[in-house]
């Protein structure tokens, strides 16, 4: 069960003649990332942007952990730090029908803890708004484009409203949000809680979804030894380790260590074999503003199979996850060291 299963054989890219590297490029899955960096967003973007099986066509920023001006500056600064040239579009400034809610208590006022990134290079910003930027990528791609959404779903909610054909051009949406278990079913994570109206549009758009809920992020934890290993890999691992050290989870539920919600979402996309997943029907039931207690109604049973369009990981091999995550970051440091 891989993300490729969402694509019918006819939609797969046709291999083209050319050099080996070009043929390899043709096998990479086109991806748009929607993100609100955000400490764990940065920790998730690093392995994703260097993965050989994906081709990130666009990064869309969104209001979330901090305001969109900061999430955009953080994204541009990270790309500068990593030496990557990927188009960025500044996305939605506030949820669809609610005032913005931020999480500086978790991510710091800057959104990335006390860490300094290089100055943003605005030349990476694409012209036009977030709908135009998405549309441009979706219409130029020969095959469906996958979306990895690790922030509030405002951009996607706006997209489906303005450009409903997007549903046919997106292969799969892998998102961090919601919860499935009895313990958490009445609470919700930040991403869906701050813009439940957008989440409802996205879950109703008819696109296959992977929903990586709060329970998974609570399991994918790095402890002090892991952070030391991360810091030892080089400048990139060091940056992530310093950010994670200043990351403040919900103390009431936190185990010792830091919880990697967004990296767990990216790794589900890249290595689904590390997880146990089941298909469910998910309904988003927003509560009236100002309540943040949106309900994600996840039903694995007692609904027709045809309605179970959301793939929900219910468990993760935490040790293999940790090893895979640390190795992916170490690999980025090796790649960057070789370029110097
Ligand atoms: Ca995020």
How far, in Å, are 35, 188, 223, 275 from residue 265 at the CA level?
A: 12, 16, 19, 11
213: tokens are: 């809920």
Q: Which domains does the chain have, with CATH numbers?
A: 29-339 (3.90.245.10)
Distance 22 CA to ligand 1 centre (A): 32
Sign of CA dihedral 282, 166, 36, 243: positive
pLDDT tens digits, residue range 313-332? 999 999 999 999 999 999 99
Distance 18 CA to ligand 1 centre (A): 38
Helix (H), strand (E) at residue 311: strand 310-316
Q: Band of the pLDDT at 25, cuts 50, 70, 90?
A: low
Distance 279 CA to ligand 1 centre (A): 24
Distance 20 CA to ligand 1 centre (A): 36
pLDDT tens digits, residue range 192-207? 989 999 999 999 999 9
Q: Band of the pLDDT at 8, cuts 50, 70, 90?
A: very low
- Segment 67-94 shows an average pLDDT of 96
pLDDT at site 113: 85
Distance 226 CA to ligand 1 centre (A): 21
pLDDT tens digits, residue range 152-195? 999 999 999 999 999 999 999 999 999 887 545 444 578 998 99
Distance 309 CA to ligand 1 centre (A): 23
Distance 40 CA to ligand 1 centre (A): 6
Distance 201 CA to ligand 1 centre (A): 19
pLDDT at site 41: 96
How far, in Å, are 134, 234, 244, 327 from residue 334 at the CA level?
A: 32, 8, 21, 10
pLDDT at site 249: 57
pLDDT tens digits, residue range 268-320? 999 999 999 999 999 998 888 887 777 788 999 999 999 999 999 999 999 99
| DSSP, residue by residue, 101-123 | ---HHHH-TTSBTB---PPP-GG
- Segment 25-45 shows an average pLDDT of 92
């Amino acid at each position: 069960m891989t993300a490729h299963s969402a694509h019918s054989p006819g939609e797969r890219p046709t291999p083209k003649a050319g050099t080996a590297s070009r043929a390899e490029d043709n096998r990479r899955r086109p991806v748009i990332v929607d993100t609100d960096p955000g400490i764990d967003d940065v920790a998730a973007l690093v392995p994703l942007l260097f993965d050989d099986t994906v081709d990130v066509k666009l990064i869309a920023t969104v209001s979330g952990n901090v305001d969109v001006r900061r999430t955009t500056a953080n994204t541009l600064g990270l790309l500068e730090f990593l030496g990557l040239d990927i188009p960025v579009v500044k996305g939605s400034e506030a949820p669809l029908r609610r005032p913005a809610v931020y999480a500086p208590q978790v991510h710091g006022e800057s959104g990335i803890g006390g860490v300094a990134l290089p100055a943003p290079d605005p030349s990476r910003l694409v012209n036009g708004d977030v709908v135009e930027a998405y549309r441009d990528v979706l219409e130029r791609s020969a095959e469906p484009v996958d979306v990895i959404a690790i922030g509030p779903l405002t951009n996607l909610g706006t997209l489906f409203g303005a450009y409903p054909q997007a549903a046919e051009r997106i292969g799969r949406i892998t998102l961090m949000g919601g919860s499935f278990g009895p313990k958490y079913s009445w609470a919700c994570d930040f991403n869906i809680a701050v813009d439940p109206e957008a989440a409802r549009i996205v879950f109703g758009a008819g696109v296959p979804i992977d929903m990586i809920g709060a329970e998974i992020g609570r399991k994918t934890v790095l402890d002090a030894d892991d952070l030391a290993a991360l810091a030892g890999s080089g400048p990139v691992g060091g940056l992530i380790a310093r950010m994670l050290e200043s990351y403040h989870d919900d103390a009431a539920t936190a185990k010792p260590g830091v919880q990697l919600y967004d990296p767990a979402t990216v790794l589900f996309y890249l290595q689904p074999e590390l997880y146990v997943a089941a298909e469910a029907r998910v309904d988003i039931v927003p509560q009236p503003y100002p309540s943040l207690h949106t309900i994600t109604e996840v039903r694995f049973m007692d609904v027709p199979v045809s309605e179970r369009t959301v793939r929900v990981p219910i468990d993760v091999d935490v040790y293999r996850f940790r090893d895979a995550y640390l190795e992916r970051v170490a690999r980025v440091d090796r790649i960057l060291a070789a370029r110097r």
